[in-house]
Amino acid sequence: MPLTAEQAADIDAQRAQSAPTRRAVSPELEEILYEALPVLDHGFVRVVDYMGNDEAIVQSARVSYGRGTKSVRNDAGLIGYLMRHRHSTPFEMCEIKYHVKLPVFVARQWIRHRTANVNEYSARYSILDREFYIPAPAQLAAQSTANRQGRGDVLEGEEAAWVLDTLRRDAETAYDHYETMLNEGEGADPDRAGLARELARMNLPLNIYTQWYWKVDLHNLFHFLSLRADPHAQYEIRVYADAMLETVKRWVPLAYDAFMENRMGGASMTAGQIAVLQRMLAGEEVTRESSGLSARVWDELQAVIRT
């Protein structure tokens, strides 16, 4: 993930600043505050601000004016209870703001989560950089024949080489035309008016990089991560979620442990699945045909109990 000299200098300047505060801080998160964590080939995630920590969750749940308890074990138990029983408001007391650089097609998938405040780099006013996401060979997979939203076997040989070359050439060609239509900077023709930036941008490919600031409370961040850090999520958004998970671990370690235990490592069951499981525990041999479950719901139950 190459940063420009200007970007690196800006981050260094931010990280060099410090100020005394009476606000609660998370020392582990402070260590990487403003730091750009690399994702994909040109992307990154970095924390630029946050509010609250594990104690804020506990204080909110108990409506206390100071530290909720003097025992980390008690705090962890309460946070685990809140997570298991899906209490949302105590987790909403914590907020975090990220600066993210990501491909446009990932951003359009990400923005479906409408529970955050977002401000994106505007190509109406500024010129986008010549940076495109090109998949690593290991991520260059064919369409799955069993899942319309999934990937199948990895492409190899001449077919893979042709796809990678085509992605690069198409992106470069589109950007060349974008620059020509803008007619700005070095090589601009003084006798020709450039096309408005808000129009020239429409020719750019979906793998070009954009940036935004994304601010969200912890409850909604956990919902985002439960979907996007899941193994079934698209790889290109999952790696961003994985990077964000690491920042959450530094920020609210007790809430992170509760989330990993109850949400990422837990399972949700339908009433029908619970009834079948009870029959199995009672010693009955239950088959898919005798379960009363659909094939998909049966398979989901098997995935939980056979893991």
Write the burial class of residue 149 (CB in 10 Å: 0-12 exposed, 13-18 middle, 19+ buried).
exposed
228 among known catalytic residues: yes
CA distance 184 to 179: 7
**Helix (H) / strand (E) containing 5:** helix 5-16
- CB contact at 8 A, 81 and 179: no
- Euclidean distance between CA atoms 33 and 47, whole angstroms: 6
Q: Which of these is catalytic: 228, 238, 250, 263?
A: 228
**Four-residue CA torsion sign, 49, 50, 51, 52:** negative
CA distance 48 to 103: 20
Q: Which residues are catalytic?
A: 228
